[in-house]
Amino acid sequence: MLQKKIKVLRIINRFNIGGPTYNATFLTRYLSDEFETLLVGGLPEEGEADSLHILKEYGVSPILISEMKRVPNVISDRKALKKIKEIIKDFNPDIVHTHAAKAGALGRKAAYDCKVPIIIHTFHGHVFHSYFSKYKTELYRLIEKRLAKRSSGIIAISDLQKNELTETYRIAKKEKVEVIQLGFDLNPFQENLVEKRKITRDEYNLSDDQIAIAIIGRLAPIKNHDLFLESIKLVQQQTKQKLVFFIVGDGDQKKSIEEKVAILKTEITIDIRMTSWIKDIKTFNAGMDLICLTSDNEGTPVSLIEAQACNIPIVSTDVGGVRDIIDENETGYISPKKDAISFSNKLLLLTEDKQNRERMSQNGWDFVKSKFHYTRLVSDMEKYYYSLLEKMKNEN
């Protein structure tokens, strides 16, 4: 007699470029044959890049719920909740696993109402600072605290995040929170690096003596592109190197950032190029010399893991799980958030010293190749699922 498969319904906020999409894709595609997984998610917001091509690349066919939107809306949220409940009743999962805030709220309520045995939520980031007013932040904290009580388990993607969830914001008790770091398909980032570098350098007409510096991510306030612009202005004023800066991404701050870039170009001679989203980030990264992140809040920034997988040194603000994904002083530098002087000084350490850049580039792949590979993610997650199922069995 064939053993019954463990059914997992995986629900994600929306299919936009970022860690949650990769996480959900790999966990849907690569869990062992003992599991059957169905993936459900919303669509990207206006200005965000659609990531459905990632799912297609790995042979994953999700169910799309257009009503599941990032911004709270009574009408669309009710419709999304109803659809999720219908999917639960039809699929009859043993586990509902939600990813990110909106999916976590609607998915966990639906699973609780439908009496799903195991309910799990992954915090890919959180909104408890740098996003909203004090009142709204406290409201979201109380909502998450209530949802945590209805969850069988909570997953944090870094030790720092677990500490914030359990100690700083008191969302759940320590014993309820498991740390499972993200995992990615990193091998393609190491393939044909010389060839890919030439393709990118030729496309953007970059000479061998030009140092290409990129920041990759949503053009949104939380990413603090103002800090990036302020920092590169300071760097440009202190160097004789030939620098080219790339702002890669799209979002609701695009027009504002374009205006600030235009003003900066009237103040000093500086080469800044805005590219919108780039789907073939593996080839683009290979053509860069440095990659930056200036965010005020993060979960686990995928762009920094991908940069190291391409042997590119990084400079990042000290936010979220950054310290878990950078080998400080070996693969990159970490700077206090909102500190343009410190950030620019870190950049200067790399732009002015080619040997230092080359030293760090040699360390990147070795640091990330096993720590952040999807096989480790899948193995950790299966063990966690089995532990919760065993705990439920013992309690019943």
DSSP state of 76: H
Phi, psi of 109 (to 5 degrees): -65, -45
CA distance 212 to 198: 13
CATH number belonging to domain 187-368:
3.40.50.2000
pLDDT the model gives residue 201:
98
Q: For residue 1, what pLDDT is reported?
A: 44
Residues of the chain with CATH 3.40.50.2000: 6-185+373-395, 187-368
Task: Tell which residue, 197, 340, 339, 200, has the closest CA to residue 273.
Answer: 200
Q: Are 312 and 288 in contact (CB under 8 A)?
A: yes
Q: How many CB atoms lie within 10 A of CB 356?
A: 15
What are the tokens at 126? Answer: 């959180």
**Percent of the chain whose pLDDT exceeds 70:** 95
The DSSP H or E segment spanning 216 is strand 210-216
Average pLDDT, the chain: 92
Distance CA 218, CA 248 (A): 8
Is residue 224 predicted with pLDDT exceeding 80?
yes
Q: How far is residue 102's CA from residue 145's CA, in Å, rounded to a whole number? A: 14
Confidence of residue 22 (pLDDT cuts 50, 70, 90): confident
Q: 6-185+373-395 sits in which CATH class?
A: alpha beta
36 forms beta bridges with 7
Name which of 157, 87, 86 is nearest 121 in CA terms: 157
- Looking at residue 104, its amino acid is G
pTM, entire model: 0.79
Q: Who contacts 115 (Cβ-Cβ below 8 Å, separation ≥6)?
A: none
Coil vs helix vs strand at 372: coil
